[in-house]
C-alpha cells in the first residue's frame, strides 16, 4: 500500500511539473508572438512612412498572418490593427504599381510637338493621394493581321506581332500597354507613337501556347577524308507545336554557321523544309502555317571538317583555336 501511495505521489508531482512546463512554454510562445506582432506593426508603419513600399507590404502581410494564428475571440480584439495592416498592404501595392507605371511613361513633348486633348465620356473624381489612376476614355476595334516570329536559337520562343490598321482621326500616344490573350494576362508591351490612319506593328510578347523544343545531334564521320582530317556532322531539329485552337502563320529565322578560319570548312549543308530565303551570312528564313494542334519540324544539318590539331569553337564563344 505504501508503495502504491508513493507511486501516486510521484505521478501527481510529475503531472503537475509537466503541466507547469507546458504552461510556461505556452506563455513563452504567446510572449514571443506578441513581441513579433508589435515589431511587425511598428515596421510596417515605419517602412510605409519612409516610402519603402516593398518592405511595408511584407510586414503588413506578416502582421495579418500573426493575427490569423489567434482564436476567433482573440482576433476580435485586434479589429483596428487588422484594418490598419490591410490599408498599408493595399496602399503599398498601389504605390509599387504606380512606380512601375511611371518608369514606363513617356515625357510630354519627347516624341511629338504640341499637346493632345482627349475628353473622357464620364465625369470622374480622382483622389489627391499621389497614385496614378486609370480613366476610361474609349473602346475601339481595329483590323489586325497576326503573325508569329521565331529565332531558332538556344532557347527558341514564339513572339506574336499584330499589324494593326488604325482608322482613328487622332494620333495615339506612346506608352505601356497590357496584353491579354482572351481573359488571360499575357504581359506588358510598349505601344509606339501612331499617326492618324496609320498601319503599324505592335509587339504582343511571347505566346506560351506555341511550344518549341530543340534537339541537337553530333557524330563523327570518316567518309572521303584523307590525312589527319576530322569530320563531325551536326544536326539541329526544332519541333513547333501549335496549342492554339486556331491556325497560325509563322516566320522563323535560323542560321548555318560560317567559318572564320581557313583551317575549318563547313560542307554538306541540308535544310528542311526548303527556306523561302537565305543570305550570304548563312541566315535562312522559313514560313510555316500550323493548324490547331499541329506539329511541324525544322531540320538544320551540316558537316564540320578540320585538322585534328584544330579545336573549333562557336563564333559567339570566341572563334576557333
pLDDT digits (tens, 9 = 90+) for 124-145: 788 777 777 778 888 888 888 8
Within a domain: residue 127? no
Within a domain: residue 23? yes
Cis peptide before 273 (omega within 30 of 0): yes
63 and 191 in a single domain? The answer is: no
DSSP states of 185-244 as a string? Answer: EEEEEEEPPB-TT-EEEEEEEE-TTEEEEEEEEEEEE-TT--TTEEEEEEEEEEEEEE-S
210 and 278 in a single domain? The answer is: yes
Centroid of chain to Cα 262: 43
318 and 217 in a single domain? The answer is: yes
173 and 290 in a single domain? The answer is: yes
> Contact at 8 Å (CB) between 253 and 216?
no
C-alpha cell at 140: 475601339
75 and 208 in a single domain? The answer is: no
Within a domain: residue 109? no
Q: What pLDDT does residue 193 have?
A: 85
Domains identified in the chain, total number: 2
Q: What pLDDT does residue 108 have?
A: 56
Domain membership of residue 54 as a residue range: 2-102
155 and 288 in a single domain? The answer is: yes
151 and 245 in a single domain? The answer is: yes
Within a domain: residue 174? yes
Within a domain: residue 107? no
22 and 74 in a single domain? The answer is: yes
Q: What pLDDT does residue 223 have?
A: 59
94 and 145 in a single domain? The answer is: no
Q: How many CB atoms lie within 10 A of CB 7?
A: 10
The residue among 76, 102, 128 that closes a domain is: 102
Q: What pLDDT does residue 23 have?
A: 58
Secondary structure (3-state) at 310: coil
Within a domain: residue 129? no
Within a domain: residue 319? yes
Within a domain: residue 51? yes
96 and 147 in a single domain? The answer is: no
143 and 284 in a single domain? The answer is: yes
pTM, full prediction: 0.53
Q: What pLDDT does residue 4 have?
A: 44
Of 172, 232, 169, 223, which Cα lies nearest the Cα of 200? 172
Q: What pLDDT does residue 221 have?
A: 74
Q: What pLDDT does residue 113 have?
A: 52
Within the chain, which residues score under 70 in pLDDT?
1-28, 30, 102, 104-117, 222-228, 309, 313-321
178 and 241 in a single domain? The answer is: yes
Amino acid at each position: 500500500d505504501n508503495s502504491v501511495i508513493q507511486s501516486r505521489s510521484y505521478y501527481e508531482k510529475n503531472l503537475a511539473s509537466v503541466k507547469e512546463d507546458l504552461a510556461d512554454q505556452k506563455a513563452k510562445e504567446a510572449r514571443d508572438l506578441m513581441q513579433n506582432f508589435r515589431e511587425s506593426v511598428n515596421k510596417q508603419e515605419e517602412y510605409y512612412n519612409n516610402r519603402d513600399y516593398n518592405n511595408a507590404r511584407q510586414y503588413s502581410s506578416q502582421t495579418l498572418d500573426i493575427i490569423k494564428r489567434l482564436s476567433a475571440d482573440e482576433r476580435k480584439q485586434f479589429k483596428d490593427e487588422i484594418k490598419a495592416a490591410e490599408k498599408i498592404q493595399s496602399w503599398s501595392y498601389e504605390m509599387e504599381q504606380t512606380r512601375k507605371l511611371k518608369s514606363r511613361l513617356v515625357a510630354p513633348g519627347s516624341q511629338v510637338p504640341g499637346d493632345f486633348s482627349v475628353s473622357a465620356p464620364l465625369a470622374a473624381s480622382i483622389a489627391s493621394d499621389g497614385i496614378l489612376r486609370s480613366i476610361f476614355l474609349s473602346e475601339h476595334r481595329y483590323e489586325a493581321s497576326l503573325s508569329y516570329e521565331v529565332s531558332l536559337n538556344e532557347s527558341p520562343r514564339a513572339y506574336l506581332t499584330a499589324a494593326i490598321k488604325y482608322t482613328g482621326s487622332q494620333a495615339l500616344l506612346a506608352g505601356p500597354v497590357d496584353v491579354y490573350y482572351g481573359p488571360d494576362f499575357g504581359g506588358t508591351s510598349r505601344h509606339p507613337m501612331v499617326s492618324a490612319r496609320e498601319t503599324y506593328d505592335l509587339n504582343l510578347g511571347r505566346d506560351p501556347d506555341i511550344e518549341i523544343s530543340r534537339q541537337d545531334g553530333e557524330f563523327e564521320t570518316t567518309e572521303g577524308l584523307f590525312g589527319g582530317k576530322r569530320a563531325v556532322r551536326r544536326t539541329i531539329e526544332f519541333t513547333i507545336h501549335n496549342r492554339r485552337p486556331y491556325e497560325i502563320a509563322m516566320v522563323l529565322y535560323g542560321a548555318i554557321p560560317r567559318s572564320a578560319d581557313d583551317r575549318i570548312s563547313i560542307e554538306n549543308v541540308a535544310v528542311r523544309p526548303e527556306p523561302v530565303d537565305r543570305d550570304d551570312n548563312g541566315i535562312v528564313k522559313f514560313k510555316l502555317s500550323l493548324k490547331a494542334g499541329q506539329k511541324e519540324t525544322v531540320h538544320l544539318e551540316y558537316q564540320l571538317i578540320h585538322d585534328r590539331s584544330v579545336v573549333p569553337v562557336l563564333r559567339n564563344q570566341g572563334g576557333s583555336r
